[in-house]
Amino acid sequence: MRNPFLCALILLFLPTTLTAADFIADVASADCTKTRLSLDFFSTQVQPSLAVRLTPTRTSGQTVLTSATRTGDGRYLSPVLVMPFAEYRVEAIDPGTQQVIGRDVLDTALIVTVLARKSLRTPVQVRREPRLADTPRPAGTVHIQPNYDRGASRLHIILVNDAGVFLDQYFGKPVPLWESRPISAFNVYALGAQYYPNGTCRAIPLRSAD
């Protein structure tokens, strides 16, 4: 979560009129690997709802359009979103004027991985190798076999290291075998979710195919 003392310090140097910098985007809790945005403005906003645009900054992924509704504490919360983890440029848009009234950059991979681990089963270790001091490991792919239900329509598989840091992901239609990009971590863990057409989700059993 963002540091409230830092936010207060920044507020002292902000102009009294709203600019696209008077705004912080964060992630609220959600089930499985879903993302739910929490939007906070330094100045008071009276709109009951906002339009929100999320644009990937480092990949060629699709732009996500959603909304956010004002809550009793002044924050705006989006509905739960099922989308890949990535760094996004988050823009809050006034639905009346269509002007961008808030802009931030949010890396959901750094935050949602932690939230996902709270609601999914214990990550499965899919690579275990002794770590030799000062000896880097050559990068190599990891092969994962997901044991998904026949009715599942989408899988989201996440790979993390010992510290829970995001390494790679698969987000798409169910597949019997997934090969990750080359990864140099000595120890790799897998966790993930399967999604159904009605929007529900559950943890998915995973195992190494290496």
Contact (Cβ atoms closer than 8 angstroms) between residue 189 and residue 207: no
Examine the domain organization and report whether 75 and 153 are in the same domain: no
Q: Of 21-25, 81-85, 178-182, 189-193, where does mean pLDDT reach its minimum? A: 21-25
Q: Of 52-56, 57-61, 156-160, where does mean pLDDT reach its minimum? A: 57-61
Examine the domain organization and report whether 153 and 103 are in the same domain: no
pLDDT value, residue 5 = 39
Of the two residues 120 and 177, the one the predictor is more confident about is: 177
Mean pLDDT of 188-199: 93
Examine the domain organization and report whether 157 and 196 are in the same domain: yes
Examine the domain organization and report whether 132 and 173 are in the same domain: yes
The predicted-structure confidence for 14-42, as pLDDT tens digits, reads as follows 333 344 547 899 988 788 999 999 999 88
Average pLDDT, the chain: 84
Examine the domain organization and report whether 49 and 88 are in the same domain: yes
Let me know if residue 114 belongs to a domain: no
> How far from 207 is each of 93, 147, 148, CA to CA, in Å?
43, 8, 11
Examine the domain organization and report whether 97 and 177 are in the same domain: no
Q: What is the CATH number of the domain that holds 90?
A: 2.60.40
Its domain, for residue 126, covers 120-208
Q: What is the CATH number of the domain that holds 157?
A: 2.60.40.4070
Domain count, the chain: 2
Give CA–CA dist 120/189, Å, rounded: 13
Q: Where does a domain end: 58, 82, 107?
A: 107
Q: Of 39-43, 46-50, 102-106, 132-136, where does mean pLDDT reach its minimum? A: 132-136
Let me know if residue 141 belongs to a domain: yes
The predicted-structure confidence for 136-185, as pLDDT tens digits, reads as follows 778 899 999 999 999 999 999 999 988 888 999 999 999 999 999 999 98
Q: What angle do CA 80, 37, 29 make, to 5 degrees?
A: 65
Give the residue from 132, 128, 135, 144 showing the smallest Cα distance to 181: 144
Examine the domain organization and report whether 154 and 197 are in the same domain: yes
